[in-house]
Amino acid sequence: MTKTVNPNGIQIAYKERGSGKPIVLLHGFCGSSAYWDDLVPLLEKDFRVITPDLRGHGHSSVPDQPYTMENMAEDIRGLCESLQLQAPVLLGHSLGGYVTLAFAERYPDYLIGFGLIHSTGLPDDETAKSNRSKGIEQIKEKSIQPFIDNLIPKLFAPGHLNSMKAQVDKAKQIGLSTAPEGAIHTLEGMRDRKDRTSVIMTTNKPVLLVAGSEDQVISPDKVFSADEQLVKAELIEGAGHMSMYEAPDKLAEIIRSFVNPAL
């Protein structure tokens, strides 16, 4: 069941299942808490799992301003405070990883650990920035459907487009439910985000980095951009950018071994 809180005047929708150590899972761009539907049942027996909709996505508010990673981090801080979470583990997929790093930079003592799932601390290069701007113009001119139709197939390993057609179709439906304004403002925020590799390199908290060997969006070398003593790097063979769909059992095993008993 979806619930809501209103930190900083922004309505944030979320789902919550299970009990134990709290894990907050942040979805990727044009996703929602539904991205985690296959993963949560594998974790809820051991952990309290909270899956928010980021601003502009799912059932959360769609404010009319660029969504900086700092804005989104403040939303999640407000959610955590509303739920009285103590020492949660924050794990972010893609866009959610950018938000996770902004949160870890601002509130380093709040988390017991954090991680990136198919994400990176690196900023957009000039080509990626240009593509974000083109995406904004495409959505403004043609609405969101052609953008989603082009985006979602890139998120899966090529070999999974046919074998996991139901999962691909579900990701498309979630994407199509994203408000066009929310997608535009998120693209602006991602395009202009800063380099946060240093957050991974200097933290005194355990860090999990998960990459897919077939990821066409954020390659493993960009995920594993920082090699520090506290970093646990995991490569999921055969997965693209969507291991929560493509390899949920493996991803759950990786998360479980990171959170418990290590933390």
pLDDT score of 261: 67
Which residues have CB under 8 Å from 50's CB, separation 6+? 14, 15, 16, 22, 23, 24, 25, 79, 83, 85, 88
Pairing of strands 47-52, 113-117: unpaired
Choose the weakest-confidence range: 3-12, 24-33, 50-59, 167-176.
Answer: 3-12
pLDDT exceeds 60 at position 262: no
pLDDT tops 90 at residue 1: no
- Mean pLDDT throughout 182-206? 96
Domain span at 10: 3-259
Percent of the chain topping pLDDT 70: 99
* Residues in CB range of 155: below 8 A, 6 or more apart: 171, 216, 217, 240, 241, 242
Q: Average pLDDT of 4-19?
A: 92
Number of domains in the chain: 1
CATH of the domain at 14: 3.40.50.1820
Q: How many whole angstroms separate alpha carbon 133 and alpha carbon 131?
A: 5
